[in-house]
């Protein structure tokens, strides 16, 4: 089993915890968020900063300093079910500064089905282990309403406003 490392990042809206192995990012969570480090033995993870975390921190610096960061060049390995992985792939297609509804994501996940479940999509979105890199904060209700966010709605509002400000500048 690969050694896991944890490191923190102080963002303008709270501490982020970063988990990786030597080659890939496994988790990015705001401290205290729902589903924090789910599936990991937090005390068994070593404190460390492998090169992949150095690269991630540069990406986070760019994001929070207002650079428009489309996508990422990180190796990521989010742990989840096949369904969650599919939803998270769709989330990565949402452009910086834009949003997508749960229903729109359901159409991407089940394109040939009349049976779509925005609620199931919401469950997968909420368990996203890679905050910001997999931009679950860009998911809104069908009418554009700001809905739940595992790290708190106030952080989601800040992130969306930050991206809108950067796009308009």
Chain segment 93-130, per-residue pLDDT in tens:
999 999 999 999 999 998 877 777 888 999 999 999 99
Structural tokens at position 69 = 């960061």
Write down the residue that tokens 């779509």 correspond to.
116
| 136 counts as catalytic | yes
**Residue 16 · residue 28 · CB < 8 Å:** yes
Mean pLDDT of the chain: 94
Orientation angle between helical segments 118-126 and 82-91, nearest 10 degrees? 90
Chain segment 65-77, per-residue pLDDT in tens:
998 877 778 899 9
Which candidate in 134, 136, 150, 160 is catalytic? Answer: 136
Write down the pTM of the prediction. 0.93
Write down the residue that tokens 């997999």 correspond to.
134
Q: What is the CATH number of domain 82-166?
A: 1.10.10.10
CA dihedral of 31, 37, 35, 28, whole degrees rounded to 10? 60
Region 132-153: mean pLDDT is 95
Q: Give residue limits of the domains in the chain.
A: 5-65, 82-166
């Amino acid at each position: 089993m690969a050694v896991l490392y944890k490191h923190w990042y102080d963002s303008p809206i709270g501490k982020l915890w970063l988990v990786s192995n030597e080659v890939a990012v496994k988790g990015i969570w705001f401290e205290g968020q729902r589903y924090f480090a789910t599936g990991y033995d937090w005390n068994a993870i070593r404190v460390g900063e492998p090169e992949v975390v150095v690269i991630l921190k540069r990406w986070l610096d760019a994001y929070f300093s207002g650079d428009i960061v489309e996508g990422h060049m990180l190796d990521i390995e989010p742990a989840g079910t096949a369904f969650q992985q599919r939803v998270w792939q769709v989330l990565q297609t949402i452009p910086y500064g834009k949003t997508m509804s749960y229903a729109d994501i359901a159409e991407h996940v089940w394109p040939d089905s009349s049976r779509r479940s925005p609620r199931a999509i919401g469950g997968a979105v909420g368990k996203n282990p890679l905050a910001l890199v997999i931009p679950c904060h860009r998911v809104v209700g069908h009418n554009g309403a700001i809905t739940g966010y595992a790290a708190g709605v106030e952080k989601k509002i800040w992130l969306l406003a930050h991206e809108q400000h950067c796009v308009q500048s």
